[in-house]
Amino acid sequence: MTRSTRQDTGQEQFLTVLSRDEALARFEAALFPRTIPTEELMLADALGLALADDVTAPIDVPPFDRSNVDGFAVRAADMATASEAFPARLLLN
């Protein structure tokens, strides 16, 4: 392929060596091309919009420790031989 053919296809960009800083600057510019404006809205007015930041509650709800599903965590190795006919018996701490 001749030099003029490479330039005509836009491939000359791959023949240029960039410094690490310049390459990183170009990469970041492509990833983060602009700042997206944000605004605060009432929840009812935000339907269908994307969050610009995390939303956290100012208080714990419920205000006490609670598991959504009651149960216990077990190691798979402790349950390997368990079956409906031969249930495993585990000691709780």
pLDDT digits (tens, 9 = 90+) for 1-47: 555 555 567 788 788 899 999 999 999 888 877 777 889 999 899 99
Considering Cα of 59, then 62, then 64, then 69, what sign does the dihedral take?
negative
Q: How confident is the model at residue 52 (pLDDT cuts 50, 70, 90)?
A: confident
- CA distance linking residue 12 with residue 5, whole number of Å: 10
DSSP 3-state of 65 = coil
Q: How far apart are CA 35 and CA 71, in angstroms?
A: 46
Residue located via tokens 């031989």: 81
Is the Cα torsion angle 67, 69, 71, 77 positive or negative in sign? negative
pTM, to two decimals: 0.30
pLDDT for the residue numbered 36 = 78
Q: Is residue 87 over pLDDT 80?
A: yes
Domain boundaries, the chain: 1-34
Residue 79 makes CB contacts below 8 A (sequence gap 6+) with 88
